[in-house]
A and B are shown apart, each in its own frame.
Chain A
Amino acid sequence: MTRSGTAATPRDTGDGRAGRLLEGAIQHLPAAFALVEAPSGRVLLRNEQTTRIFRIDGTPGTGIAGYSPFVGFHPDGRQYQPEEWPLARSILQGEMVSGEVAEIVRGDGTRGFIRMTSAPVQDESGAIIAGVVTFEDVTEWLERERAARTETEAALKTRDEFLAAASHELRNPLNALQLHLEGLRRIARKAPAAFSWPALLARLDKADDQIARLVRLVDALLDVSRIKDGGLVLECDEVDLVAIAKDVLQLIEPAAAGIPILLDAPERVSGVWDALRLEQVLLNLLSNALKYGDGKPIRLSIQARPTAARIEIKDEGVGMSPDIVSRIFADFEQLTPDRRHGGFGLGLWTTRQIVSAMGGDIHVQSEIGKGSTFVVDVPYRPAATGLEQSAHVAS
Chain B
Amino acid sequence: MSHPKPPVPSVLIIDDDSGSREALAELLVDEGYDVATAEDGAEGLAYLRVGHRPRVILLDLMMPGVDGWDFRAEQKRDEELAHIPVIAISAAGKLLDADYSLRKPIEIDTLLTLLRDVMGAPMG
Residue positions of A touching B, CB distance < 8 A: 164, 167-168, 171-180, 182-183, 186-187, 203, 206, 209-210, 213, 292, 318, 335, 337, 340-343
In whole angstroms, how far apart are the Cα atoms of A337 and B63 in the complex?
13
Q: Are B104 and A171 in contact (CB under 8 A)?
A: yes
Q: B69 to nearest A CB, angstroms?
A: 7
In whole angstroms, how far apart are the Cα atoms of A127 and B106 in the complex?
74
Query: DSSP majority for the B interface?
Result: loop
Q: Is B93 an interface residue (CB 8 A)?
A: yes
Q: Are B104 and A175 in contact (CB under 8 A)?
A: yes
Contacts of B69 in A (CB 8 A): 340
Q: Are B67 and A172 in contact (CB under 8 A)?
A: no
Q: Are A175 and B91 in contact (CB under 8 A)?
A: yes
Which residues B61-85 have CB closer than 8 A to chain A? 61-65, 67, 69
Q: Is B1 an interface residue (CB 8 A)?
A: no
Interface residue from A167, A209, A210, A341 paired with B64 (Cβ < 8 Å): A341
Q: Are A179 and B92 in contact (CB under 8 A)?
A: no
Contacts of B61 in A (CB 8 A): 340
If A318-B65, A342-B64 touch, does A175 touch B30 (CB 8 Å cutoff)? no
If A175-B91, A340-B93 touch, does A206 touch B27 (CB 8 Å cutoff)? no
Q: Are B27 and A176 in contact (CB under 8 A)?
A: no
Q: Are A341 and B65 in contact (CB under 8 A)?
A: yes
Contacts of B93 in A (CB 8 A): 337, 340
- Minimum-distance CB pairs A-B, first 7: A176-B19, A179-B23, A171-B91, A175-B104, A343-B64, A183-B27, A175-B105
Contacts of B19 in A (CB 8 A): 172-173, 175-176, 206, 209-210, 213
In whole angstroms, how far apart are the Cα atoms of A250 and B60 in the complex?
32
Interface residue from B27, B65, B92, B105 paired with A186 (Cβ < 8 Å): B27
In whole angstroms, how far apart are the Cα atoms of A170 and B39 in the complex?
19
Most buried by B among A164, A167, A171: A171
In whole angstroms, how far apart are the Cα atoms of A292 and B67 in the complex?
14
Ordered by A's residue number, 21 sampled pairs between the chains whose C-beta atoms are within 8 Å are A167-B91, A168-B91, A171-B92, A172-B17, A172-B104, A173-B19, A175-B17, A175-B105, A176-B23, A178-B105, A178-B108, A179-B26, A182-B108, A187-B30, A206-B23, A292-B64, A337-B93, A340-B61, A343-B62, A343-B64, A343-B67
Contacts of A178 in B (CB 8 A): 105-106, 108
Q: Are A174 and B105 in contact (CB under 8 A)?
A: yes
Q: Is B56 an interface residue (CB 8 A)?
A: no
Given contacts A175-B23, A176-B22, A343-B64, 8 further A-B contacts (CB under 8 A): A168-B92, A175-B106, A179-B23, A179-B106, A180-B23, A182-B27, A182-B108, A210-B19
Q: Is B31 an interface residue (CB 8 A)?
A: yes
Q: Is B20 an interface residue (CB 8 A)?
A: yes
Interface residue from A174, A206, A318, A343 paired with B22 (Cβ < 8 Å): A206
Q: Is B36 an interface residue (CB 8 A)?
A: no
Contacts of B108 in A (CB 8 A): 178-179, 182, 186
Q: Are B65 and A175 in contact (CB under 8 A)?
A: no
In whole angstroms, how far apart are the Cα atoms of A177 and B19 in the complex?
8
In whole angstroms, how far apart are the Cα atoms of A187 and B104 in the complex?
22
In whole angstroms, how far apart are the Cα atoms of A76 and B124 in the complex?
69
Q: Is B98 an interface residue (CB 8 A)?
A: no
Contacts of B20 in A (CB 8 A): 172, 175-176, 179
If A168-B92, A172-B91 touch, does A183 touch B64 (CB 8 Å cutoff)? no
In whole angstroms, how far apart are the Cα atoms of A12 and B88 in the complex?
86
Q: A370 to nearest B CB, angstroms?
A: 14
Q: B111 to nearest A CB, angstroms?
A: 10
A interface footprint on B28-52 (CB within 8 Å = 1, 0 otherwise): 0011000000000000000000000
Q: A16 to nearest B CB, angstroms?
A: 78
Contacts of B23 in A (CB 8 A): 175-177, 179-180, 183, 206, 210
Interface residue from B27, B62, B91 paired with A179 (Cβ < 8 Å): B27
- Name the residue on B nearest A170 (C-beta): B91
If A172-B19, A179-B20, A179-B24 touch, does A340 touch B62 (CB 8 Å cutoff)? yes
Q: Are B104 and A186 in contact (CB under 8 A)?
A: no
